[in-house]
Structure 1
């Protein structure tokens, strides 16, 4: 049936043409924008995912800038630490030269002062954008990543850069008192112990025999050297003691001497400041021999073995107590007090070495120091020796407080003085500690710089991967879009012709009325 009111063919052709035009418009948008999903209307789910990822890409661009800034800052700290290490090595060379008495120590000291001032200059200038990593103790965080979880939550990650203080300041002693015994035990804490030991530590050997039988053999071993005597049978204990006194003194052992106290008693004296001397007695006929270790309070040993303790008094630091930043340690010796304030992450080893440096920086007459570690327990000890015995010291003590400002990592550098024998000897020990501090600082910065470089490369690769992923979701396939455009243009032309034909169909009805 034909109708002039309803042209079904035209309606179908029109709808087809509308669909072609819509597809053609969509394809033209893909070509013009380069995206198959340009708006949420195109594909809301894909569009939402792509926008979240695009936000992350922008965040990673900011992270890349942060890593570049952090890497540059750490690089400055590393180069400054390496320069300080080289300058400290030069100072060590000067100190070694000063160990010889027949040199102009005043001129050497002038050179050391110049190198010290240069170190101060390097430390002060080692900043990037106002941030100096070799001054102070506060950590610096470098933004390194943006972490998104499955639930959509986002958190930032950081690379922590620990400051490596290479200043030489003395710090500020804390005001909150702590129990010193929790940090260290003082051996030689009384005035008599500390000031009278200059004469040396003493061990007493007692030969407990009334008379000697023929061919009786006696041995005295001192510091690894063994002396022996075979009796003729007519000697007394006093004769035996007198004989060994002569033999011991004839050895010429450094720091060891013997005196005959009579009645078969020998006093062995150890004037070595920092060495314990072993003494052993043996006899073929009589085990009634004693070594009384006076340093240990007068108690006899197990018959025939003993030691003469070192002359120096010690502070034996705890193997269990922790050290916090700002913990302040004060040693009183030689009539003066010496302070060291611990920095972040330091140990009892650092405290012992810091206190040694403090004492060496302002040495009282006759006072020398040494840091020792027990080979068995690992305990660190600060040994302080008084070679004068002039009674100027009334106490040898340790005090501890909290809440101070840490001493610089190169504490003691400002007080290196090689113009005296004592100062030159002390400087040789202390410069090694300072060199190790600067080496550790450079190594720390080098490690962190390498990590930042690795993270920066990863962030760059990750950003590229995210961009590729976003593109695969929303970018248009231009080859496909081009082919589709040409096909739709042909369809559009055919659709127009179909609509034209459909619109002409009612004209045939007029022929029925002619």
Structure 2
């Protein structure tokens, strides 16, 4: 049946043409945007995933900028620390030269002062965008990554770079928990009295018997003459020891064969050994311990002259822990920084005491080879002074170059202490340089990884939403042909009712 009201063929042709046009519009959109999924209506799931990944890409671009800024900041700090190391090394050369007596120490001190001022200038200028990593103790966090969990939550990751304080700041002694139990003073006073070793000569001697004694590695002997005995032997041995002219070592006899060997040498134990040889058989007899024959040493060596502050071998050292040594009426303290040990505390206390420039006080840091215990030893060549120690937590750390401003080589004592202390400062600056170098390397590696990760994410997003241009081109050609055919089909279908007119002619 033919109808002029309802043209079914035209309706079918129209729907087909609309479908072709819709597909053609879609493929033209793909070609113009380059995306197969450009909005949520194209594929909501894939579109949502791509948008999340695109936001991550944007975040990683910001992270890359943060890492670049952080790398530059740490690079400046590393360069500053390395420059300080070079200047300290140059200063050490000046200090070594000052150990000689026949030099102009005043001029050397002027050079050292100039180097010290240059170090201060370098430390102050080693900043990037206002951030100075060689001053202060607060760690710096550099944004390094965004970590997305499977449940969609996101957490930021940071690279923590520890500041390395290369200032000469004294620090602030805290008022927190007592740390007095972590250190022990060997005496309540430090005095200049000599330490002694007593050699007792036995009563039975014969002519041509030989008394042997060794003091500080120097061997001495005295052969008894006819009629001589313990009194003459004692006087002779005392004279021989005094005749050596050993610095700080003297001997005295009491007239009855008791020889007292005294030493005022700081930080040095003086070895004393004895023996005797009889004229009859020329053999060395065993030292008699009862004092009736031969020589007896009541102390095998003269102990070093010094008091000490022994530090704990088990207690941890936390940032802000302060230890204080009181000598006479003045106190000298060192406040530890992050990651330091009792070795650092001992060396810091030494520098603190040396920086005071006390004329009669000398110091030394030692480590017990058996227990590993670190100690600060203090010797006094003047009047007796009180001696004590204490400690408290909660302070502000001393700078890594504490005592730099007090280096003074114009005196022999100052030159000696400066040589020991400059080694500590050089060690601190080298450690700072190494720490910054390690951090810079890590930041650089992370930045390279972020760049590669960003590229991978972009590739993944593209594989999901980018259009296949080769396929789109072929599809476009096919749809254009279909459109032309659809238009012709619709035209034919629209002409069908025209045939009805012939029935009314």
Query: 1 CA distance for matches of 2:410 and 2:209?
Result: 56
Q: Which moved more, 1:102-111 or 1:406-415?
A: 102-111
**Cα drift, residue 286 of structure 1:** 5.0
How far did 1:173 drift?
2.3
Q: CA separation of 1:128/1:102 partners in 2, compared to 1, >3 Å: closer, same or farther?
A: same
Distance in 2, matches of 1:237 and 1:45, equals 110
Query: Which residue number in structure 2 is paired with residue 276 of structure 1?
Result: 269
Give the alignment's Cα RMSD to 1 decimal.
2.9
Shift of 1:513: 6.1
What are the within-5 Å matches in structure 2 for residues 160-179 of structure 1?
A: 160-176=160-176, 178-179=178-179
Q: Deviations over 1:240-288 (max 9, x none)?
A: 6556545545555554443323444332223221122344456765554
Contact 2:273 2:297 in 1 (8 A): no
SS of alignment partner, residue 53 of structure 1: helix
Q: Which among 468, 474, 482 is matched to residue 473 of structure 2?
A: 482
Q: Which 4+ residue blocks in structure 1 deviate beyond 6 angstroms?
A: 213-218, 228-235, 302-305
CA shift for structure 1 position 69: 1.2
Pair 1:179–1:26, CA change in 2 (3 A): closer
Q: Which digits, 9 at most, give the CA deviation of each residue in 1:416-458, with x for residues without a partner?
A: 1122121121111112211222222122112211211111111
Q: How far did 1:68 drift?
A: 1.4
Cα distance, 1:313 vs structure 2:
1.1
Tell me how far apart the structure 1 counterparts of residues 200 and 289 of structure 2 sit (CA, whole Å).
6
Residue 226 of structure 1 and its aligned partner are, at CA, apart by: 5.5
Q: Per the alignment, in what secondary structure is the counterpart of residue 376 of structure 1? A: coil
Contact 2:197-2:299 within 8 A present in 1 as well: no
Q: Which moved more, 1:7-16 or 1:426-435?
A: 7-16
2: distance between equivalents of 1:405 and 1:290? Answer: 59
Secondary structure in 2 aligned to 1:371? Answer: strand
TM-score normalised per structure 2 = 0.89
SS in structure 2 opposite 1:178? coil
Q: Distance in 2 between matches of 1:241 and 1:220?
A: 11
Alignment partner of 1:362 is 2:356: yes
User: For the Cα contact (< 8 Å) 1:334–1:386, is it kept in 2?
Assistant: no
**Please, which of 442, 457, 460 is the counterpart of residue 451 of structure 2?**
460
Q: What SS does structure 1 have at the residue aligned with 2:101?
A: coil
| Alignment partners' CA distance in 1, 2:120 and 2:213 | 56
**For 1:414-453, what aligned pairs fall within 5 Å after superposition?**
414-453=405-444
Residue in structure 2 matched with residue 17 of structure 1 by the alignment: 17
Is the 1:212–1:233 contact (alpha carbons within 8 Å) kept by the matching residues of 2? Answer: no
Structure 1 stretch displaced more, 43-52 or 329-338? 329-338
Task: Give the match for residue 289 of structure 2.
Answer: 289
2:312 to 312, 318, 337: 318
Contact 1:206 1:289 in 2 (8 A): no
User: Which residue number corresponds to residue 132 of structure 1?
Assistant: 132
Partner of 2:365: 371
Note the C-alpha offset of 1:227.
Answer: 5.6
Unaligned ranges ≥5, structure 2? 277-283
Contact 1:409/1:437 (CA < 8 Å) preserved in 2? Answer: yes
Whole-angstrom distance in 2 between the partners of 1:348 and 1:215: 56
Tell me the residue number matched to 1:190.
188
Contact persistence 1:331–1:396 (CA under 8 A): yes
Whether the 8 Å CA contact 2:173–2:335 is kept in 1: the answer is yes
- Is 1:205 aligned with 2:199? yes
Tell me the equivalent position of 2:116: 116
Q: How many Å apart are 1:472 and its aligned residue?
A: 1.2
State how far apart, in whole Å, the 2-side matches of 1:287 and 1:90 are: 54
* Maintained 8 Å contact 1:140/1:163: yes
TM-score with structure 1 setting the length: 0.87
Q: Distance in 2 between matches of 1:15 and 1:81?
A: 78
Equivalent pair of 2:275/2:285 in contact (CA under 8 Å): no
Asked if residue 353 in structure 1 is aligned to residue 347 in structure 2, the reply is yes
**Which consecutive unaligned segments of at least 5 residues does structure 1 have?**
292-301
Report which stretch shifted further, 25-34 or 248-257.
248-257
Q: Distance in 2 between matches of 1:272 and 1:134?
A: 40
Contact 1:334 1:367 in 2 (8 A): no
| Structure 1 residue 149: Cα displacement | 1.5
Q: Choose from 231, 236, 258 the match for 1:265.
A: 258
Measure the CA separation in 1 of the matches of 2:220 and 2:114.
Answer: 54
CA shift, 1:333, in A, is 2.0
